[in-house]
Amino acid sequence: MLVGSVALTLGLLVLVWWVSWQRLEAERQLLDQNARVQQENLAAIIAENLSQVFDRGRLMSIAANEWFEGNRINATQRLSAMRAADRAFLRIALYDRVAQRVYSSSPSIDTPGPAVSLLRPRLAAALPAEVMVGERPASPEHAWQLPLFFPVTAADGRLHGVLLVVLDLGYFLALYQDIDIGRSGIIRLLKADGEPLAEARQAGLVLDAPTGERIVPGGARQGSLHGRFFEPGRLYLSSFRQLDRHPFTVTVSRAVDETLAAHLASRARFLGVLAALSGLLAVAAFWFIRSLGRQGRLLSALAAADVEKRELIVQLEEEKRRAFALAAHDHLTGLPNRRMFHELVVSHLSRAKRSRKYYVLMYLDLDRFKGINDTLGHHVGDLLLQAVAERLRGCLRESDVIARLGGDEFGLLLTGLENIDDSATVAAKLVEQVSLPCIDLDGNDIQISPSIGIAIYPRDGDDFETLCRHADAAMYRAKHAGRGRFCYFDPTLNQIGERLFNLEQRLPRALAGNELLLHFQPLVRLTDFRVVGFEALLRWQHPDFGLIYPADFVPLAENAGFIAAIGDWVIAACCRQQAEWQAAGLELVPLACNISASQLHDEDLPRRVAERLAEHGVDGRHLAIEITESSLLASPVVAGRVLRCLEALGIGIALDDFGNGFSHLANIRHLPIHYLKIDRAFISDIRNRPDDAVIVASIITLAHNLEMQVVAEGVEMLDQLVHLKTAGCDTVQGYYLSRPVEAAAARHFLIHPILNPA
């Protein structure tokens, strides 16, 4: 805590100083930016005004061209008027190609005679097209006069002469003398080569300003930069702007310390106050840390004594835990032993008396285990027991109880089963997993089978001893029946277990041997009682048990991992059937098939469906799929992507058994659902139960508001049909209109699609 307090104090001080410094720096940058913008704007204004002055001089040179073209009177009048209207020009004079003056606005002799004499060689060689600056007069009274020479050319480009325009720099720069750019503010007029012509300061106009450091960088036409241009050691911000059409540059400069003077004073005051506060905070932190240190030493002494006591307590608890583990668990497999199993089962059975769910006790014994011990040794037998224990853990839930009762015998308690038949599924899975080969047990590959006896609470006993006795008897019955299987204590249930086991074993042969087939139940539109679709229902034509319905073998297929293969078979069969009807010239209606949750979360499903459609030449709109609400729960995002891909193929999507699942309407409305199928539980007693009638009407209204069609399942009576038609239901299916039929009968519905109710 002491270190934390010091770190917190230092961190707080650093944070305060850093934030303050950033704020002051931001203010300084803002002031510098404002000064930069102000100076650049002023330089642009001056440059534009100066360009206008030069443009007027250019206009005078154009007017002077009339002199050489013979219209001297008109040229004289225009030049005199233009000079009189512009106060920036003191006088003008016109010279021919041999530098002889032919016109002057002043009757006196022109003072810039030496400058004109310098023009003679240039006039002979042709004057440049742009304006040229002459030398300023040496006399003080003419020092502010800047001679500018504008070439006078004919329309065909021939040089007639030159127009001398004398610019009054004092008058021009005096226009900006009153602009507030501070005591250090400087406005300069430069030639193209950077030579200063004149400058204006707050103190007045300056001629022959010192050159100093070059302000305008090469190649740049406008901008701003910092430098020590005028005084050694003093930083200036200079903004420059080059005239667009004339070889001159305007600069506006101001000392940075003057721009930031107010900020620097405020900054000094703020930092002084901050330093004082930091000092107070440091003193307070020092006093707090010192007090904390005294208390920390006292607490350390108490903590040391408390740690010693806790270590003793932890040591005693660890010894107790180890003793309990040794007494309650099997040292070889880590599973609870017989005594612990007894306590756990009794505890679960006491809770089972208040539950409507089923609890199942199983005894599992390894077949011919003694021979492995006698042949390969007890070491290999121990490795085998550990492998079997690990497989049992992988097959059961965390809520179930697994124990090693001794030798090669294991006890299992399945808790909270919804259906008795689930116990057969679990037992079949245990037989399958334990019977898998155990690879490389001390260099040996061993395959062993289990025999399982099953007793169900409370049917086969309501106490631990009775259930154990009956489960043990059932286990020996399984051994006598041939080993590698499971048996119930009730002999009648043994037949069920054997039947389920045989069905699961034959599932791969059913797929390969074309034992699966489809029946078709028509979907009838209530507005005109026309068949608008079929639902494809899966059947298994078993060679021994006859026709088997999906409820009897689909759960086995899901547990055994065959459901995806069966689902692909159903889709292919639907496409094949539609292709046959299409080849016969029948008008097709959508054929719907059910897909499982594992298929719905397989992102490769749309590709396989597209391949089946293309293989049989069937349009996607003639195929539909039905999904259940529970299949959306595992991964709604993946399910949504799969459904959208199927929708893109033109396939219709129906939500089956709506109202009997766990879907959230907020999720359903974002999925591409086209049909809602109302669960038959709401239809069966719709006449006598007002609640069901209200629910059905609400579902229909909700679906129509979400732009979905409604299909009612399980319509078996005329009263149900009339109620659904009155409620606005779109489509129905059920025994009242037609049972599921084979393909030949379904073909009849396509030929005669109207089903008038009896």
Q: What is the pTM of this model?
A: 0.43
Residue range 176-190, pLDDT digits in tens: 766 777 788 888 888
Check pLDDT > 70 for residue 554. yes
Nearest CA to 163 out of 177, 144, 176, 149 is that of: 149
Nearest CA to 554 out of 454, 421, 672, 446 is that of: 421
Check pLDDT > 50 for residue 112. no
Where on the phi/psi map is residue 555: left (φ > 0), alpha (ψ -120 to 50), or beta?
alpha
**Are 449 and 431 a contacting pair, CB within 8 Å?**
yes
Task: With H, G, I as helix, E, B as strand and everything else as coil, classify residue 363.
Answer: strand
Task: With H, G, I as helix, E, B as strand and everything else as coil, classify residue 712.
Answer: strand
pLDDT of residue 228: 81
pLDDT of residue 667: 63
Task: With H, G, I as helix, E, B as strand and everything else as coil, classify residue 730.
Answer: coil
* C-alpha neighbours within 13 Å on the C-beta side of residue 483: 10
Q: How far apart are CA 483 and CA 365, in angstroms?
A: 10
Helix pair angle (369-376, 378-395), 10° resolution: 140
Nearest CA to 190 out of 212, 174, 165 is that of: 212
pLDDT of residue 451: 93
Q: How far apart are CA 151 and CA 174, in angstroms?
A: 28
pLDDT of residue 675: 92
pLDDT of residue 689: 80
Q: How far apart are CA 44 and CA 241, in angstroms?
A: 6
pLDDT of residue 111: 46
Residue range 223-249, pLDDT digits in tens: 888 888 777 778 888 888 888 878 888
pLDDT of residue 558: 83
pLDDT of residue 606: 94
- 3-state SS, one letter per residue, for 39-70: HHHHHHHHHHHHHHHHHHHHHHHHHHHHHHCC
User: Residue 115 corresponds to which amino acid?
Assistant: A
Q: What is the edge-to-edge ordering of all strands in the sheet holding 450-457?
A: 401-406, 409-417, 358-366, 450-457, 486-488
Find the helix or strand (DSSP H, E) in which 279 lies: helix 261-328
CA distances from 579 to 216, 573, 582, 592, 610 (A): 84, 10, 5, 15, 14
pLDDT of residue 266: 84
Residue range 645-679, pLDDT digits in tens: 999 999 999 998 886 655 556 567 778 999 999 88
pLDDT of residue 621: 94
Where on the phi/psi map is residue 734: left (φ > 0), alpha (ψ -120 to 50), or beta?
left
Q: What is the edge-to-edge ordering of all strands in the sheet holding 145-153?
A: 101-104, 89-96, 159-168, 145-153, 132-133
Six-digit token pair at 218?
A: 């090469």
Check pLDDT > 50 for residue 198. yes
574 confidence band (pLDDT: 50, 70, 90):
very high
Share above pLDDT 90 across residues of the chain, in percent, rounded to a whole number: 26
pLDDT of residue 645: 95
Nearest CA to 698 out of 687, 714, 710, 715 is that of: 710
Q: How far apart are CA 452 and CA 446, in angstroms?
A: 19
Sequence-distant contacts of 483-486: CB under 8 A, at least 24 apart: 483/367, 483/368, 483/449, 483/451, 484/367, 484/431, 484/435, 484/449, 484/450, 484/451, 485/431, 485/451, 485/452, 486/362, 486/424, 486/427, 486/428, 486/430, 486/431, 486/451, 486/452, 486/453, 486/454
> Which residue intervals of 649-689 are DSSP H helices?
665-668, 680-683
Check pLDDT > 60 for residue 127. no
For the chain, the distance separating the N- and C-terminal CA atoms, rounded to the nearest angstrom, is 88
Q: How far apart are CA 570 and CA 553, in angstroms?
A: 15
- For 435-469, give one letter per residue: b (16+ CB within 10 A) or e: eeebeebeeeebebebbbbbbbbeebbeebeebbb
DSSP 337: -
> Which one is predicted more confidently, 377 or 157?
377
Q: Which residues pair with 414 in a beta bridge?
A: 360
**Are 463 and 349 a contacting pair, CB within 8 Å?**
yes
115 confidence band (pLDDT: 50, 70, 90):
very low
- Of 203-217, 391-405, 461-475, 721-735, the one with minimum mean pLDDT is 203-217
> Which one is predicted more confidently, 610 or 65?
610
Mean pLDDT for the chain overall: 84
Once rounded to an integer, what is the mean pLDDT over residues 319-335? 77
Pairing state between β 196-201 and 89-96: unpaired
Share above pLDDT 70 across residues of the chain, in percent, rounded to a whole number: 89
pLDDT of residue 745: 93
305 confidence band (pLDDT: 50, 70, 90):
confident
> Which one is predicted more confidently, 323 or 289?
289
Residue range 360-417, pLDDT digits in tens: 999 999 988 888 888 888 898 999 999 999 999 999 998 899 999 888 899 999 998 8
Residue 84 neighbours by CB under 8 Å, 6+ apart: none
Residue range 9-67, pLDDT digits in tens: 778 888 888 888 888 888 888 888 888 888 888 888 888 888 888 888 888 888 888 88
114 confidence band (pLDDT: 50, 70, 90):
very low
**Are 444 and 377 a contacting pair, CB within 8 Å?**
no
pLDDT of residue 11: 82
**Are 344 and 414 a contacting pair, CB within 8 Å?**
no
pLDDT of residue 522: 96
Residue range 481-539, pLDDT digits in tens: 888 889 998 765 555 556 777 788 888 888 887 889 999 999 999 999 999 999 999 99
pLDDT of residue 119: 57
Place of tokens 């396939």: 651
DSSP 485: S
Highest mean pLDDT range out of 116-125, 293-302, 703-712? Answer: 703-712
Place of tokens 């899975």: 429
- 3-state SS, one letter per residue, for 108-169: CCCCCHHHHHHHHHHHHHCCCCCCEECCCCCCHHHCCEEEEEEEEECCCCCEEEEEEEEEEH
pLDDT of residue 122: 55
Residue range 409-452, pLDDT digits in tens: 999 999 988 888 888 899 999 999 999 988 988 888 888 899 99
Once rounded to an integer, what is the mean pLDDT over residues 592-596? 92
| Main-chain dihedrals φ then ψ at residue 82, nearest 5 degrees | -65, -40
What does the radius of gyration of the chain's CA atoms come to, in whole angstroms? Answer: 52
Q: How far apart are CA 251 and CA 332, in angstroms?
A: 95
Once rounded to an integer, what is the mean pLDDT over residues 99-106? 82
pLDDT of residue 142: 67
pLDDT of residue 749: 93
pLDDT of residue 129: 54
Check pLDDT > 60 for residue 75. yes
- Of 128-132, 168-172, 605-609, the one with minimum mean pLDDT is 128-132
Q: Which domains does the chain have, with CATH numbers?
A: 1-259 (3.30.450.20), 338-489 (3.30.70.270), 520-536+562-751 (3.20.20.450)
CA 50 centroid distance within chain: 58
| Main-chain dihedrals φ then ψ at residue 569, nearest 5 degrees | -65, -40
